[in-house]
Chain A
Amino acid sequence: MSGTLKNLTLKIWRQSGPADGGRFDTHVIDEITDEASFLEMLDILNERLVESGEEAVVFDHDCREGICGTCSLMINGQAHGPERATATCQLHMRKFSSGDTIVIEPWRASAFPIVRDLMVDRSSFDRIVESGGFITAATGGAPDANLTPIPKPVADAAMDAAQCIGCGACVAACPNGAANLFTGAKVSHLNLLPQGQAERYQRVENMVETMDEHFGSCTNHGECEAACPKEISIDVIALMNSDYRKAKTINRKSLSRV
């Protein structure tokens, strides 16, 4: 069952602010149980740093259950580390071995400026959602929830896309710093559902164009899918692209007839 890891070398990116050039600091963890989570290891390190008068390593995290999307570390060059379909906070030390050197960096993408150490600013994701990632439905006027049956496969496909946690690993993993997986996931969630049809083409147009203002272009590397902790499929990008193309050509006055 549980065991102990010895002699881990952590190389951690430290950067005092956006203007600072940044550097790697090296810390040695003599011993840690393999039951510990990766972030608990950083907690221990930080407690040690503070108690010895040094500044704690800044990193983003909150739920520690893989759902809030706050944690965001590049671990040995991989977004969220080595375990498939796992956010940083759910990674456990049993995935590492004694004597390992672990390199820890922030997301690196021009749309995500570094705030301090391992923390980046991902508010460009919010801008994309604000531009169209919603269904306009004023509070109070909604019809009965069972009025429109939604076939289970449709609801399931929408849910598959809706599971995106907005972490940004897809952008960090992408050689172009593109946000197509994130944006495609939100577009697909809403465009697949019957409730989302009225705004379908306006939504995709607005979201894609806002995305393009902030992020690089997708050239189908597929690194995003491999890094995604929620295993969002790149099919969402195809759906987004196809709806975007239609948005540019379709006559929206006759939408109810298609």
Chain B
Amino acid sequence: MSMTLDPRTLDSKIPDGSLADKWDNFKANEKLVNPANKRKFKVIVVGTGLAGASAAATLAELGYQVDAFTFHDSPRRAHSIAAQGGINAAKNYRGDGDSVHRLFYDTIKGGDFRSREANVHRLAQVSVNIIDQMVAQGVPFAREYGGMLDNRSFGGAQVSRTFYARGQTGQQLLLGAYQQLARQIGIGNVRLFNRTELVDIVNIDGRCAGIVVRDLMTGEVSSHSAHAVVLATGGYGNVFFLSTNAMACNVTAAWRAHRRGALFANPCYTQIHPTCIPQSDDFQSKLTLMSESLRNDGRVWVPKMAGDLRAPQDIPEDERDYYLERLYPSFGNLAPRDISSRAAKRAIDSGQGVGPKQNGVYLDFGDAIGRLGRNVVSERYGNLFDMYERITGENPYETPMRIYPASHYTMGGLWVDYELMTTVPGLYAAGEANFSDHGANRLGASALMQGLADGYFVLPYTISNYLSQWLNKSIPDTSHPEFARVEAEARDRYHRLASIGGTRSPDYFHRELGKIIWDYCGMERTEAGLDKALSEIPALYEEFSKDLRVTGGEDGLNQTLEKAGRVEDFFELGMLMCRDALEREESCGGHFRAEHQTAEGEALRDDENFAHVSAWEWTGDATQPNLHKEPLAYEEVDFQTRSYK
């Protein structure tokens, strides 16, 4: 059942009051559910990454009945585990001038004035609670000798506000949230459905009534109903095939919700991270990130001369171009990601690339080792250096690392209002799956912050505002025929994918799709390129529909079939990304349209015409989506040209 949407209903529900008061005003006025009544409500949380685990644990702690779903074998394996560098919070423990306002402003500016002011301000406000909460749960953040918490700097900020646990911050935060969730599972407040994939959303009478899932162990398709459903299912960076995301990250949950009426916002806002290990061969399956924190001490350079094949040690200082320091003197090597990535691309495109495939730039720790000593450098980055050496066979203490940009994070996602509700009543999106806080570019160490903010400190408040209206009213359960109908559709879909009987594996199509998207909707986009992509993707999709081969059948565990379903959804998403990129005739943050740049090659925004969120509606035809616009009005900040010079 697709819903027809009146554009006027795209109401972001921003509370009244000054920016600093909005969140307090919301909390003062929202409808609550009293503690004894909470257990009458069932909430489904899909995803057990930072956003999902924290939401599920907190909702259960409050007394709601929670069913949590993940396609992983354990909640602890969610992709959040892989975050390396750190998490921001406006604690101002350094006394270096940080404040809620500064974190708010840095995030708005970092997002190139394309995010919603009220959401970002709330994020900065609750950031301080996150650190308190995680420390109370036993997250072993790095400490100084006096026992106080340590901080480092991340791109796009001139203060030190990033908290970290060696190079494994995401791991430690996720384990913290997982342990809270495990506690709730242990005492029976949360039922966990592991190795279970959401394959569709069920809407009845204009609200989300539940989900349809596939048990990955048995292939069985079944339904679950609830008062509200939260999707905390992560980002879609794997649309590029090669990315720093874990292999299983996919867009299926968000995409299926989109097909059932949830608008998809800003799909073209994708983040290409500047510091990844360059691709070494053609069948490579994934790229590895080298944390941005390395740019605190590493210096980025390329040889001044194009085609210079000398070993780095043989290139004298005055023949090196430390291009970030040269172009952006006040932020230097810590320029934001979009800017650093494009600068690397330009250097490589002009023939200054290094390494066997000339597809990298150097990140050099020579100075840092000279200044701080090898021990300090190893203390700060040892595990990253080891990881680099394992993958490349080169020792970064002796020879500079080689890095290159790769798909890393997606700012776009399901459109949500201030309460994190999508355009489908009762369906929420949290964490990387929503579009809410990062505008056109996310600052480093802010995704972990957002995921935990959504799950611990926002959703548990906002969800009662919706649930309260259903108190003591009956809602449809899974015996409603709509569940059976959607289940049948899901079964048919997997049956179709399993029985095409062509010649090519899902991976083949994913790789080919990824190439198209990377070439035409990657770091630099042009009208001609996007047009090309918009004709190539449907053609490839056509081939997929005829020539896909899935062995093993649809009953029981079948990783090839799982992959086929995910790749199919990437096709449709890819088309929407290109459409969105084509429609946005400006450059902002991670979206760089070559037609719109300054004389110096920087992004040229068009605030007159594009200061809005592009929220796309599914129409039943992937090539004909319908655009809705949420205007971005700023009360507190003025539009400015972003400068990191």
Binding site for B on A (CB under 8 A): 1-2, 17, 33, 35-37, 39-40, 43-44, 46-47, 49-51, 53-56, 58, 60-70, 83, 85-86, 90, 92, 94, 115-116, 119, 121-123, 125-126, 129-131, 133-146, 149-152, 155-156, 158-159, 162-163, 165-166, 189-190, 193, 195-196
Contacts and interface: CB of A to CB of B under 8 A. Distances in A.
A159 B165 contact: yes
B551 A193 contact: no
A15 B143 CA distance: 48
B505 A62 contact: no
Contacts of B129: 140, 142
A115 B217 contact: yes
Given A63-B246, A68-B246, A51 B283 contact: no
Contact of B136 (A69, A123, A133, A137): A137
B77 A142 contact: no
Interface in B223-251: 246-248
A196 B557 contact: no
B387 A193 contact: no
6 contacts: A36-B283, A39-B285, A115-B217, A137-B137, A137-B180, A140-B133
Interface string B130-147: 011111111011111111
Interface string B258-293: 000000000000000000000011011110110000
B185 interface: yes
A135 B77 CA distance: 20
Given A50-B549, A55-B552, A125-B74, A2 B280 contact: yes
B146 A130 contact: no
Given A65-B387, A155-B140, A137 B133 contact: yes
A63 B79 contact: yes
B559 interface: yes
A139 B460 contact: yes
A133 B283 contact: no
Interface stretch (B171-179, B319-327, B359-367): B171-179
Nearest to A196: B138
Contacts of A70: 72-73, 77
Given A64-B286, A67-B171, A130-B185, A56 B76 contact: no
A96 B100 CA distance: 53
A163 B168 contact: yes
Interface string B428-446: 0000000000000000000
Given A68-B77, A155-B141, A163 B557 contact: no
B46 interface: no
A131 B552 CA distance: 38
Given A142-B133, A145-B134, 8 more contacts: A50-B505, A53-B551, A63-B77, A64-B246, A90-B390, A151-B145, A155-B140, A193-B140
Q: 5 nearest interchain CB pairs? A: A149-B147, A130-B186, A134-B179, A142-B136, A137-B136
B514 to A, nearest CB: 14
Contacts of B560: 46, 50, 55-56
Given A40-B284, A142-B129, A58 B549 contact: no
Interface of B: 54, 57-58, 61, 72-77, 79, 81-82, 91, 93, 129, 131-138, 140-149, 165-166, 168, 170-172, 175, 178-180, 182-183, 185-186, 194, 217, 246-248, 280-281, 283-286, 288-289, 356, 386-387, 390-391, 393, 456-457, 460, 503-505, 507-508, 549-552, 556-557, 559-560
A151 to B, nearest CB: 5
Contact of B79 (A36, A39, A62, A158): A62
A115 B216 CA distance: 11
Nearest to B249: A62
A62 B77 CA distance: 8
B82 A43 contact: no
A67 B289 CA distance: 12
B138 A193 contact: yes
A135 B137 contact: yes
B182 A129 contact: yes
A68 B82 contact: yes
Residue among A58, A121, A126 with the highest chain B CB neighbour number at 10 A: A126
A141 B507 CA distance: 47
Contacts of A39: 285
Contacts of B186: 130-131
Nearest to A162: B140
Given A126-B74, A134-B183, A47 B81 contact: no
Given A50-B505, A67-B171, A90-B387, A155 B132 contact: no
A51 B503 contact: yes
A144 B93 CA distance: 11
A68 B81 contact: yes
Contacts of A36: 281, 283-284
Given A146-B148, A159-B165, A190 B549 contact: no
A133 B182 contact: yes
A48 to B, nearest CB: 9
A195 B136 contact: yes
B486 to A, nearest CB: 28
A122 B73 contact: yes
A204 B411 CA distance: 42
A125 B194 CA distance: 13
B394 to A, nearest CB: 9
A46 B552 CA distance: 12
B138 A189 contact: yes
Contact of A61 (B58, B137, B175, B247): B247
Contact of A51 (B81, B140, B217, B504): B504
Contact of A139 (B133, B147, B171, B175): B133
A83 to B, nearest CB: 8
Contacts of B82: 63, 65, 67-68
A186 to B, nearest CB: 9
A56 B551 contact: yes
Contacts of B133: 137, 139-140, 142
Contacts of A134: 137-138, 179-180, 182-183
Given A50-B551, A67-B82, A152-B143, A135 B73 contact: no
B390 A58 contact: no
Contacts of A2: 280, 356
Contacts of B79: 62-63, 68
A126 to B, nearest CB: 5
A149 B390 contact: no
B505 A162 contact: no
B199 to A, nearest CB: 19
Contacts of B550: 50
B335 to A, nearest CB: 25
A62 B248 contact: yes
Nearest to A53: B551
A69 B76 contact: yes
A47 B138 contact: no
B140 A43 contact: no
Given A53-B551, A90-B390, A162-B172, A139 B58 contact: yes
A55 B235 CA distance: 29
Contact of A195 (B138, B280, B557): B138
B586 to A, nearest CB: 35
B143 A155 contact: yes
Nearest to B78: A68
Nearest to A116: B557
Contacts of B172: 159, 162
Contacts of B289: 65
A192 B248 CA distance: 34
Contacts of B504: 51
Contact of B168 (A67, A85, A141): A67
Residue among A39, A136, A137 with the highest chain B CB neighbour number at 10 A: A137
B269 to A, nearest CB: 24
B263 to A, nearest CB: 29
A162 B552 CA distance: 39
A50 B551 CA distance: 6
